[in-house]
Amino acid sequence: MPSKSLHPESLLAHAGGGFDKTTGAVVPPIQPSTTFVRDESYELVSSGHLYSRDDNDLFRKTEALIARLEEAKDSRLFASGMAAIAAILRTVKPGGTILLQSGIYWGTTIFFRRNCERTGVKLMELDATDKDALAAAIADTKPDLVFLEVPSNPFLRVADIAAISAQTRAIGATLCVDATAATPLILKPLTLGADLVVHSATKALNGHSDVLGGVVSTADAASEAWGFITQERHDAGAVMGSFEAWLLLRGMRTLSLRVERMNANALAFAKHFDGHAKVKTVLYPGLTGHPEHALAARQMHGGFGSLMSLLIKGTKADALTATGSLDLFQRATSLGGVESLVEHRETIEGPQSGIPDTLLRLSIGIEHIDDLIADMEQALAAI
């Protein structure tokens, strides 16, 4: 195992552990077997290898690397980001209470609503950037779980993790932060007082739009919540396969380079279109005009993420015209990949999501910034 003093860039480049000690291979091997034999005395031939639902060396290697990036005590991979979130939600027993940040990823919101209605868990949704209202709600209702998304998707709001964590600790609540849009290289919620941090590994951690995955990390491996999550991963079996784990670990080897380029591109892109004649608002925490810019600058390091949204001046038809006129940006759902993507989010989620019909959500990739700006300029000119 590499020295703890190594920088994240070095850990990532070596997949968290250097060459394979058995063969000397510089690329971690894949073990696709789902089960492992016992000897004549019915002892495991290799301790720690019983069944691949938990006993997978690629899981362990990737989880150890992510835990180091997060400054976490432990991490667990899941089959998808939503599978990871589902395990977190189920830490709250029927009759309990969840406080969910409003205006976040619609898939998370609708899943929480449906699950809580079915299980008898009380669900409150509140703007986590309204500090007074949030503090009052936490103190009054004493939720079992507070779930944040920082920055939020698609509105790019930034909640104060440290302040909220002081409030949740005072009542013994679990604080979980979805930091998918930031990556562990930019935002480390556990160091700010969160108990759990979750990522859709499908996004920037893998970075190549070819793997579904999720990961949860904890600040306290002895906590009741973490005990439930690890047991839930084992018993419910929401695990990824060996090939997916290998692809995730391979993608992470270039994470630092991708994040550096994507963040630089995103900031330059946001600054260029801030105040543009055909753009009403650029939603991006890296802009000084963003309502939580100062907070984002304190919490986030090395950038502000590669996700942003543009509110186009005009109508839904104008926003769709701009989207349809883009050539380099690909019209697809997701974020964090090397290719830049655009979504007319209201079309995807529907009017019930509350997303303005002139909002375009952008995931900025690693292309040359001049090409990205030129593509958006010609698309806006089509309106």
Task: Report the CATH number that the domain containing residue 128 is assigned in CATH.
Answer: 3.40.640.10
CA 62 → CA 6, 66, 132, distances in Å?
17, 6, 39
Weakest mean pLDDT among 30-44, 286-300, 332-346: 30-44
CB distance 377 to 369 below 8 Å: no
pLDDT tens for each residue of 175-215 = 999 999 999 999 999 999 999 999 999 999 999 999 999 99
Counts of helices then strands in the chain (DSSP H, E) = 13, 12
Q: Where does a domain end: 226, 252, 278?
A: 252
In this structure, is residue 1 part of a structural domain? no
DSSP letters spanning 298-330? HH--S---SEEEEEESS-HHHHHHHHHH-SSSE
- 42 flagged as catalytic: no
Q: What's the pLDDT band for 335 if we cut at 50, 70, 90?
A: very high
The pLDDT of residue 320 is 98
In this structure, is residue 212 part of a structural domain? yes
Q: What is the CATH number of the domain that holds 371?
A: 3.90.1150.10
Q: What's the pLDDT band for 22 if we cut at 50, 70, 90?
A: confident
- 233 flagged as catalytic: no
pLDDT tens for each residue of 273-302 = 999 999 999 999 999 999 999 999 999 999
Q: Report the alpha-carbon distance of residue 322 to residue 160 in Å, rounded.
A: 34
On whether both 101 and 248 belong to a single domain, the answer is yes
- 209's torsion region: left (phi>0), alpha (psi -120 to 50) or beta? left
Options 53, 90, 271, 316, the catalytic residue: 53
On whether both 162 and 264 belong to a single domain, the answer is no
The pLDDT of residue 2 is 54
CA 225 → CA 78, 137, 195, 260, 364, distances in Å?
16, 22, 9, 34, 35
The pLDDT of residue 10 is 94
- 53 flagged as catalytic: yes
On whether both 300 and 232 belong to a single domain, the answer is no
The pLDDT of residue 340 is 98
In this structure, is residue 306 part of a structural domain? yes
Give the predicted TM-score (pTM) of the model.
Answer: 0.95
Q: Report the alpha-carbon distance of residue 252 to residue 17 in Å, rounded.
A: 13
On whether both 283 and 247 belong to a single domain, the answer is no
In this structure, is residue 184 part of a structural domain? yes
The pLDDT of residue 4 is 65
Options 76, 105, 284, 361, the catalytic residue: 105
Range of the domain at 361: 255-381
In this structure, is residue 3 part of a structural domain? no
Query: Quick check: 163 pLDDT over 90?
Result: yes
Sign of the torsion angle spanned by Cα atoms 244, 252, 217, 81: negative
Q: Report the alpha-carbon distance of residue 240 to residue 243 in Å, rounded.
A: 8
CA 26 → CA 19, 64, 196, distances in Å?
4, 18, 32
* 3 state SS of 379: helix
On whether both 33 and 141 belong to a single domain, the answer is yes
- 203 flagged as catalytic: yes
Options 203, 253, 258, 278, the catalytic residue: 203
Beta-strand relationship, 196-200 and 359-363: unpaired
Q: Residues 30-40: what's their mean pLDDT?
A: 91
Query: Quick check: 3 pLDDT over 70?
Result: no
* 3 state SS of 378: helix
Q: What's the pLDDT band for 312 if we cut at 50, 70, 90?
A: very high
On whether both 190 and 323 belong to a single domain, the answer is no
Query: Quick check: 338 pLDDT over 80?
Result: yes
The pLDDT of residue 213 is 98
On whether both 73 and 136 belong to a single domain, the answer is yes
On whether both 183 and 35 belong to a single domain, the answer is yes
Q: Report the alpha-carbon distance of residue 383 to residue 371 in Å, rounded.
A: 19
Options 57, 74, 160, 178, the catalytic residue: 178
On whether both 168 and 302 belong to a single domain, the answer is no
Q: What's the pLDDT band for 122 if we cut at 50, 70, 90?
A: very high
On whether both 239 and 353 belong to a single domain, the answer is no
On whether both 246 and 303 belong to a single domain, the answer is no
Average pLDDT, the chain: 96
In this structure, is residue 369 part of a structural domain? yes
Q: What's the pLDDT band for 19 if we cut at 50, 70, 90?
A: confident
On whether both 56 and 201 belong to a single domain, the answer is yes
Structural domains of the chain, count: 2
Q: Where does a domain end: 207, 231, 252?
A: 252
Q: Where does a domain end: 229, 252, 275?
A: 252
Q: What's the pLDDT band for 52 if we cut at 50, 70, 90?
A: confident
Q: Is 117 exposed, middle or buried (0-12, 13-18, 19+ CB in 10 A)?
A: exposed
